[in-house]
């Protein structure tokens, strides 16, 4: 049945559109945009007071599928995505087994066919993420991978990184880089600074990320290849990326909502839900990230959604790094950037830009495009209750926080997959 969204504020950065109007969806596609469209036989959705935008594109998600599905799986992850307005996502390859074989890639994409969002996957740059032997990139592309990453860790051998950067463009693959000097980061549990010293906890210096970012940029620049920098958290990395762009390096970059809203002071509680990698940094880093979003240094906002069980997160010092984020991403970003970026600018960073970087059919409400739409109330406030979230894991760094902006309805390929009206 066709669906008619009436009287919504339609924002589509891909078309420069920001206007109260109607949106007709039919046969899983955007059929028509306009004023006072006839309802005819359509299911009518009242969009009064809501923003209708392209479904969000989260280009950094750990679905934990296969092998770690006690934390999350493709179906629970996509339920969480739908509740956050995310209709397309890029799954990271640090699964068990890792996404280094065509069989593993095909199996995930096959399982995802019946999920509540479009699942794309990054494949490994190196076999079993060990950083030494290059995976068969052409075979992984043939199996359906759209990106390459050893995320969770950097590509340790820079020669292998260069080889991947050389091959990726002709294969139509995006290289997304986890930037970290493992020697500098070794043993660290949180950002190295005043708070870590006060707690007596080993720290990860900002230089660990900055050294990695500099290496990745230098490698890409040396051969004129594009590269995407994941989860930027430091003022130093923002400066390095800004400089690289000014020099014409083909670099894009993302940051995450938790780096925009929180700092390492959250770890004074010694609650492992605030531990992730890269770690929460200092206030000057947070402000530099916001400035980077404002001036275009940082192209995208992604979540680095990284589920872990309550048992795994129980011990502050022994817990694995990572926090969940898809269900809270829009609200956390709207809260952090209110009065700093406009709604169209925020939606560009969360939908249109990541779709463009990945080269996927998403991030637009153009007629003929997939009917992937999020309707949300940018003014509605809500308190994050981990027990009410839709994924398997509850390790949100926003628990108990009041956020502004709530998803009301998520539509994937013309079908309602989340309804909180």
Which residues carry out catalysis? 304
DSSP codes, 281-307? --HHHHHHHHHHHHHTSS-EE---B--
Nearest to 84 by CA among 302, 255, 314: 302
- Classify residue 102 as left (phi > 0), alpha (psi -120 to 50) or beta: alpha
Nearest to 301 by CA among 358, 240, 347, 367: 347
- State how far the Cα of 324 lies from the Cα of 312, in Å rounded to an integer: 14
Which residues have CB under 8 Å from 178's CB, separation 6+?
Answer: 149, 150, 151, 152, 153, 154, 212, 230, 231
Sign of the four-CA dihedral 253, 257, 260, 265:
negative
Which residues have CB under 8 Å from 185's CB, separation 6+?
Answer: 204, 205, 208, 277
Q: What are the CA-CA distances from residue 376 to residues 35, 147, 314, 331 (Å)?
A: 20, 30, 34, 10
Which residues have CB under 8 Å from 97's CB, separation 6+?
Answer: 66, 67, 104, 128
Sign of the four-CA dihedral 360, 364, 370, 372:
positive
- State how far the Cα of 124 lies from the Cα of 158, in Å rounded to an integer: 15
The DSSP secondary-structure symbol of 269 reads G
- State how far the Cα of 327 lies from the Cα of 391, in Å rounded to an integer: 9
Nearest to 122 by CA among 189, 63, 181: 63
């Amino acid at each position: 049945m066709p669906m008619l969204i009436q009287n919504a504020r339609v924002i589509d950065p891909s078309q420069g559109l920001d206007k109260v109007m109607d949106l007709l969806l039919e046969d899983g596609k955007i059929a028509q945009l306009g004023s006072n469209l006839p309802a005819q036989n359509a299911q009518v959705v009242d969009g009064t007071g809501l923003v209708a935008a392209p479904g969000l594109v989260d280009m950094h998600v750990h679905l934990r599928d296969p092998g770690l599905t006690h934390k999350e799986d493709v179906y629970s992850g996509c339920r969480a995505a739908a509740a956050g307005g995310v209709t397309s996502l890029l799954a990271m390859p640090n699964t068990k087994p890792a996404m280094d074989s065509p069989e593993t890639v095909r199996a995930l994409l096959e399982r995802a066919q019946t999920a509540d969002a479009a699942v794309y996957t990054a494949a490994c740059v190196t076999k079993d993420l060990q950083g030494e032997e290059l995976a068969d990139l052409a075979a992984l592309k043939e199996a359906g991978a759209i990106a390459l990453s050893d995320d969770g860790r950097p590509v340790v051998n820079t020669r292998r990184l260069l080889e991947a950067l050389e091959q990726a463009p002709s294969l139509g693959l995006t290289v997304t880089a986890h930037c970290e000097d493992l020697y500098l980061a070794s043993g660290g549990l949180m950002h190295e600074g005043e708070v870590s010293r006060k707690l007596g906890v080993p720290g990860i210096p900002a230089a660990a990320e900055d050294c990695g970012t500099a290496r990745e940029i230098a490698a890409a620049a040396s051969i004129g290849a594009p590269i995407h920098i994941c989860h930027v958290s430091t003022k130093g990395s923002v400066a390095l990326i800004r400089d690289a762009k000014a020099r014409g390096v083909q670099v894009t970059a993302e940051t995450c909502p938790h780096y925009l809203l929180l700092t390492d002071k959250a770890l004074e509680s010694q609650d492992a839900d605030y531990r992730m990698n890269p770690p929460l940094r200092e206030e000057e880093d947070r402000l530099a990230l916001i400035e980077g979003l404002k001036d275009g240094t940082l192209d995208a906002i992604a979540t680095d959604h990284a589920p872990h069980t309550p048992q795994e997160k129980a011990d502050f010092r022994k817990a694995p790094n990572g926090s969940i984020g898809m269900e809270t991403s829009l609200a956390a970003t709207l809260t952090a950037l209110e009065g700093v970026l406009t709604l169209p600018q925020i939606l560009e960073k969360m939908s249109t830009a990541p779709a463009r970087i990945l080269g996927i059919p998403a991030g637009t409400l153009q007629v003929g495009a997939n009917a992937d739409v999020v309707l949300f109330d940018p003014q509605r406030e809500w308190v994050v209750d981990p027990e009410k979230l839709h994924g398997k894991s509850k390790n949100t760094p926003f628990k108990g926080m009041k956020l502004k902006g709530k998803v009301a309805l998520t539509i994937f390929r013309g079908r309602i997959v989340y309804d909180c009206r």
